[in-house]
Amino acid sequence: MNSASISMEQLVLLPGNPQISVVLRRSKRSRRMSLRISRIKGLVTLSLPISCPIAQAKCFLMEKESWIRKNLVALPKNTPVCAGGQLLYQGKKFNIRMGDGKKVMQVGSDLIVPGPQSVIASRAKVFLKFQARQALSAATDHYAEGLGRSYGKLTLRDTISRWGSCSTRGNISYSWRLIMAPPDVLNYVCAHEVAHLVEMNHSANFWSVVEQIFPNYDHQRTWLKEHGEVLHSYQFK
């Protein structure tokens, strides 16, 4: 088989009800076929060696069909942000209510969002991003001061693959969706990124720095791994 004539990535359909789209991704580094399902987007990807025949890949998918369908069903469902629904904020679910005024207000277990239904999602997002910047800036300042280090810019993004990052120039970026997680989880991510100001790696020395400024972080790290995709399930459209 001429590997030069093979598309490195193509889409195939797994028959059934419903049909499942699977991305076949060929890689020179792949020694065997491996399946992956993105817990955020629900994208099914099959990585396979360059020379693997398409027929063999399809047979492999048929053998794994029940596993694929089981895991797709288990994915968190997208949650539209709207009046009458709920929104996760600082680790707790709040009821979204329409109200008057100019600002989003937290009243007991309710988030009162001013305006008609058409603007509820966008105004709730603005509220969360504002609160996220306040909390993330304060926590980053706190941990940076504890290490006697300074950082550059602090940027908020809506990232999928990572909750935070620290550049070699000391600029730190976070997902604003962290404001939906419990405060201690948000603080752990800040401590993690600030630790990169000392160690730009994930070596044993790096984790020692994290432990120094945020002891016993295993619970918060595990929470993100087990529940992080829920933060991405909220749709602000």
Three-class secondary structure assignment of 208-225: HHHHHHCCCCHHHHHHHH
The SS3 assignment for 55 reads helix
Backbone CA torsion sign across 23, 28, 32, 37: negative
pLDDT at residue 40, rounded to an integer: 67
Q: In the chain, what are the helix, strand and coil shares in percent, each to the nearest 5? A: 40, 25, 35
- Determine the pLDDT at residue 208: 98
What is the DSSP code string of 117-133? HHHHHHHHHHHHHHHHH
Could you tell me the pTM of the whole model? 0.77
- 79-235: CATH number: 3.30.2010.10
Rounded to 5 degrees, what angle do the CA atoms 199, 202, 153 make? 50
SS3 (DSSP) at 144: helix
Q: Which residues sit opposite 35 in a β-bridge?
A: 46
Closest to 230 (Cα-Cα) out of 174, 178, 162: 178
Q: From CA 151, how far away is CA 166, in angstroms rounded? A: 9
What φ, ψ does residue 85 adopt, rounded to 5°? -100, -165
Residue-level pLDDT at 5 = 41
Length of the chain equals 237
Residue 92's alpha-carbon distances to 62, 81, 105, 162, 228, in angstroms, are 41, 15, 15, 22, 14
Can you tell me the distance from the alpha carbon of 134 to that of 129, in angstroms, rounded to the nearest whole number?
A: 9
Tens place of pLDDT for every residue, the chain, 237 residues?
Answer: 444 444 578 999 999 889 999 999 998 888 899 998 887 677 899 999 998 999 999 999 999 999 999 988 887 788 999 999 999 999 999 999 999 988 999 999 999 999 999 999 999 999 999 999 999 999 999 999 999 999 999 999 999 889 999 999 999 999 999 999 999 999 999 999 999 999 999 999 999 999 999 999 999 999 999 899 899 999 998
Determine the residue type at 224.
L
